[in-house]
Structure 1
Amino acid sequence: MTEFVLYGGKGGVGKTTVAAASGLALARAGHETLVVSTDPAHSLSDSVDADVGDEPTEIRDRLYGVEVDPDDGLERYQEIFETMEDVLEETGVDFESEDDGIGNAADLFSSGIVPGSDELAALDGLATYVDTDEYDHVVFDTAPTGHTLRLLDLPGIMADALSTAEAVHEQVQRKVNVQKTLVMGLLARRHTDDPTAMTEMRERMSRVEEVLRDPATTTFRVVTIPETMAVEESVRLVEQLREFDVPVGELVVNKVIEDPGDCERCRENKAVQEDAIDDLHARLPDLEVWRVADQPGEVTGLETLDRIAGDLDVA
């Protein structure tokens, strides 16, 4: 069974670095591993010092990477909603009538709840690999906190929206005349060759929602840094993840000063960091904390990632 690990947290805490190091550790332990970047500001290529494209790319033995293309995610899902807009215009189906059995569900198409390309790309990345049997582990580098929380809400929203789309399709077939039904058929063929596309996509979203909440397959690790503001946001993120019933694993504290040496300022910074880490322990006592040592210089390349992987108990 493929295991899924999602790394998330506020911007600038090193999620990509930790996700890549985690993938490297799993690969070195003999596991076929894919690291998926769903952050629109892709930096996975920089982190592993290799060109990573929008299809799985081999980085080293057993380690693969992919940077999900936001435009691809947008196009894949927006076509369903564009089809519904065309159907409404061409057929004049009345969404507001209570007799239709659809009611205000159509607001999904007009209220702006249909998400933007960043979240759609991330969702598409999850959906693409959620039932994969090619890898032992799939590691997701997610976007900063706000995007991630919207992502976790998306599968349910999309499933509801697609249920509405299916209802529209059924209503059109049931209520409009032959000419308008032909229009619907033309519109459907224009956007997809598969008449069951909406049903299959809804089932796909339901599957993503199920996997995200299954502790047997999925773990969400919160990445943070030892600073007061970062700790505050991390605590809120854990609380929100639990509201979504997403299984939260370890807390990864990145950029920890381990040996300040004779540097007075470094010793003072380390003291501040230790206070922040103590606060994290106190407020989330049920979660294990992994400390990742601060790295000198630029944090890129497999050699550096290997040092970071030594601080992660993932394999």
Structure 2
Amino acid sequence: MTDCICYGGKGGVGKTTCAAATGLSLAAAGKRTLVVSTDPAHSLSDSIEADIGPEPTELKLAGALEPETNHAAELWAVEIDPETQQERYEKMARALAADLRSAGISLSDAEIEQLFSGGMPAGSDEIAALDLLVEYVDSGEWDVVVLDTAPTGHTLRLFDMPGVMGRALETAQSLRGQARRIGSAARTAMFGPLSMFGTDGDDESLESFQARLERARDVLVDPARTEFRVVLIPEAMAIAESERLVTRLREADVPVERVIVNRVLEDPHEGCPRCQSRQARHEERLAEIHETFPELEVVTLPDLEGEAQGPESLSVIAERLPS
């Protein structure tokens, strides 16, 4: 089975760096690995220093992260294009509503709200991420999928989306049933906008899409397959937001085993009072993090004095991260 490692947290704490370093380390250890970025503000390409598009692209390893085994290192990366996916889902939802009205079906305000609330079109990038995650996991092409999620709010919507979309799809199914009762003309009108869920004329296509979202949730909450790692930096606001994130993830039954504390100053310059003070502050914050998350493993990553980009910098991070 394909395993999943998810990185999430406050914006700007280094989630992409951790995901990229983990992907490189896993690939170097002989694991067929795919790194997926769901963050609309993609920086995975910059971190790995490679051209990455909306389709999985195979990358080449070099330098310190060449394969550690006799197997060839296999690493792919993909940046999900939220704009394209949003257009896809928004078009489907609006076409569905228009065709239902043209077929003479009355849409209540509550039904319209269920069709569009939380997922269409506002959350279409999260829907796309879930849909594609199932595709990547079920393809069998990779041993591990490393998910670089968007900042906290988007990440939580990602885990809420199967339930939200489940309600919307149930409403759509009810409305489709009404269309069946008023004749074949209405049914034909319905299949056009719903064709994205499966082949034309496939009565089970809507249910199939809902099943994929439910499967995505099953994968994300399976502790035998998935681990969510919360990334933060040694600052009060990041600690508070990470505590809220861990709480919400646990409420959603998402397995969380460790927190990753990035950019910790470990070796300050001698004769630099400001550096010494910063190190002392970081030590205080680390003690607070251990107290806040007593049941989680705390992994610290060094401050590299700048963004970690390219194999050489990422190898320093990869050495400290669990595979």
TM-score, with structure 1 as normaliser: 0.90
Of 132, 135, 153 in structure 2, the residue corresponding to residue 146 of structure 1 is 153
1:257 is the counterpart of 2:289: no
1:30 match = 30
Q: Distance between the aligned counterparts of 1:186 and 1:117, measured in 2?
A: 19
Q: Greater CA deviation, 128-137 or 144-153?
A: 128-137
Letter of the 2:316 partner, please give it: R
Q: Distance between the aligned counterparts of 1:285 and 1:104, measured in 2?
A: 44
The answer to whether the 8 Å contact 2:233/2:263 transfers is: yes
Q: How does 1:278-297 map to 2 (within 5 A)?
A: 278-297=287-306
Q: Distance between the aligned counterparts of 1:186 and 1:137, measured in 2?
A: 36
TM-score, with structure 2 as normaliser: 0.88
1:114-159: CA deviations, max 9, x gaps?
Answer: 3334333433432332323111110000000011011110111112
Quickly say closer, same or farther: Cα 1:191–1:311, change in 2 above 3 A: closer
The answer to whether the 8 Å contact 2:234/2:262 transfers is: yes
Identity among equivalent pairs (%): 49
Where in structure 1 are there 5+ consecutive unaligned residues?
97-102
Letter of the 2:99 partner, please give it: V
How far has the Cα of 1:197 moved from its partner?
2.6
Of 273, 280, 285 in structure 1, the residue corresponding to residue 282 of structure 2 is 273
The answer to whether the 8 Å contact 2:115/2:169 transfers is: no
Letter of the 1:71 partner, please give it: E
Q: Distance between the aligned counterparts of 2:29 and 2:105, measured in 1?
A: 57
Q: How does 1:187-226 map to 2 (within 5 A)?
A: 193-194=199-200, 195=202, 196-226=204-234
Counterpart secondary structure, 2:290: helix
1:127 is the counterpart of 2:134: yes
The answer to whether the 8 Å contact 2:234/2:261 transfers is: yes
Where in structure 2 are there 5+ consecutive unaligned residues?
61-72
Letter of the 2:48 partner, please give it: V
The answer to whether the 8 Å contact 2:101/2:107 transfers is: no
2:239 match = 231
Quickly say closer, same or farther: Cα 1:304–1:178, change in 2 above 3 A: closer
1:69-121: CA deviations, max 9, x gaps?
Answer: 1133224433442342023211222345xxxxxx9455312556533343334
Q: Distance between the aligned counterparts of 1:50 and 1:162, measured in 2?
A: 38
Letter of the 2:241 partner, please give it: E
C-alpha RMSD of matched pairs (Å): 2.2
2:249 match = 241
1:173 match = 180
Letter of the 1:227 partner, please give it: E
Q: Greater CA deviation, 194-203 or 300-309?
A: 194-203
1:49 is the counterpart of 2:49: yes
Letter of the 2:169 partner, please give it: L
Quickly say closer, same or farther: Cα 1:19–1:191, change in 2 above 3 A: closer
Q: Distance between the aligned counterparts of 2:128 and 2:315, measured in 1?
A: 29
Letter of the 2:146 partner, please give it: V
Q: Distance between the aligned counterparts of 1:212 and 1:21, measured in 2?
A: 21
Letter of the 1:109 partner, please give it: L
1:219-245: CA deviations, max 9, x gaps?
Answer: 100000011111111111101111111
Letter of the 2:262 partner, please give it: N
Q: Greater CA deviation, 87-96 or 227-236?
A: 87-96
Q: Distance between the aligned counterparts of 1:145 and 1:90, measured in 2?
A: 40
